[in-house]
Chain A
């Protein structure tokens, strides 16, 4: 009963929906990210952020990096978004709506201006670069088995370093957030 359609979709997502399989989630990603930035209500911002994480995961899957997409969903939606939400709930949400005052003396207008300038510069480089005009190559895929082999082979030092970093970070986070004992 393995469905040929679903199988073909997962083998080459581009074939059926064309570019829209990437562009549609990308559009959702941008809208959700924009909403997350401008929302007054912190919880709404966090939920929009979660939506943008999901959309980013789908973009990864659509680009053929299905393992990265799943890891993105698992780590960001399952862990990071929940940690953010927990932090919001633990830090008394009374002052949620005040958050227009300026950090680093820029203010909303200043922040938006800096963002716009950086965006304009980046887009300028992107659209003048000859590198970026390359057409889409044949479907690329990153099989899970190969990723596993690479992680345990060439990248094993990096993998262990990441493991040490994560352990240290989580133990550190627990120690920082622990109540001070007299």
Chain B
């Protein structure tokens, strides 16, 4: 196994997340896409750590841990916003939240 395979898996995961974020209009689906992209980034961190010259430094592992923590915070805030928006406009479609459009 080479680093290429892991990076390719991560790239495919990232592309899935990107496609979901761009093409779905449901705010929760957009969030799911973002989570997939974050997962792809974490996979890259761990993969590069595994193939690094000095794995004892554990930089990639620690970065992945911090990134997971940030992702958790992002999910909590994102879903709170979705619930608030739903309460105001009775919809979770991103297109319906267009009050600021001129």
- Which A residues touch B92, using CB under 8 A? 91, 95
- Which A residues touch B13, using CB under 8 A? 29-30, 33
- Which A residues touch B56, using CB under 8 A? 146
Does chain B have a CB within 8 A of A79? yes
- Which B residues touch A136, using CB under 8 A? 1-2, 50-51
Are A165 and B73 neighbours in the complex by a CB distance under 8 Å? yes
Are A177 and B16 neighbours in the complex by a CB distance under 8 Å? no
Shortest Cβ gap from A123 to chain B (Å):
6
Are B91 and A169 neighbours in the complex by a CB distance under 8 Å? no
Q: How large is the interface on B (under 10, 10 to 19, 20 to 34, 35 or more residues)?
A: 35 or more
Pick the residue among A76, A99, A147 that contacts B24 (CB under 8 A).
Answer: A99
Known A-B contacts A72-B42, A114-B18, A170-B73; the reply to A42 vs B3 at CB < 8 A is no
Those of B27-69 within 8 Å (CB) of chain A: 28-33, 35-36, 39, 42-43, 46-47, 49-52, 55-56, 58, 60-62, 64-66, 68-69
Q: How large is the interface on A (under 10, 10 to 19, 20 to 34, 35 or more residues)?
A: 35 or more
Are B75 and A72 neighbours in the complex by a CB distance under 8 Å? no
Chain A residue with the shortest CB-CB distance to B57:
A150
Known A-B contacts A92-B86, A166-B73; the reply to A33 vs B36 at CB < 8 A is yes
Shortest Cβ gap from B65 to chain A (Å):
6
- Which A residues touch B86, using CB under 8 A? 90-92
Are A42 and B28 neighbours in the complex by a CB distance under 8 Å? yes
Listed in ascending order, the chain A residues whose CB lies under 8 Å from chain B are 19, 22-23, 26, 29-30, 33-34, 36-37, 42, 45-46, 49, 52-53, 56, 59-60, 63-65, 67-68, 71-72, 75-76, 79-80, 83-84, 86-88, 90-92, 95, 98-104, 106-112, 114-116, 118-119, 122-123, 126-127, 131-137, 140-142, 146-147, 150-151, 155, 158, 162, 165-166, 169-170, 172-174, 176-177
* Contacts A72-B68, A101-B93, A103-B94 known; 5 new A-B pairs at CB < 8 A: A19-B1, A68-B64, A119-B15, A142-B49, A169-B76
Closest 4 CB pairs of A and B: A111-B23, A115-B19, A140-B55, A169-B73
27 contacts between A and B (CB under 8 A): A29-B13, A33-B13, A33-B39, A45-B29, A49-B36, A56-B42, A68-B61, A75-B68, A87-B79, A87-B82, A92-B86, A92-B90, A95-B93, A101-B25, A102-B95, A108-B24, A112-B23, A114-B18, A114-B22, A118-B15, A132-B3, A142-B55, A147-B61, A166-B69, A169-B77, A177-B80, A177-B84
Listed in ascending order, the chain B residues whose CB lies under 8 Å from chain A are 1-9, 11-26, 28-33, 35-36, 39, 42-43, 46-47, 49-52, 55-56, 58, 60-62, 64-66, 68-77, 79-84, 86, 90-95
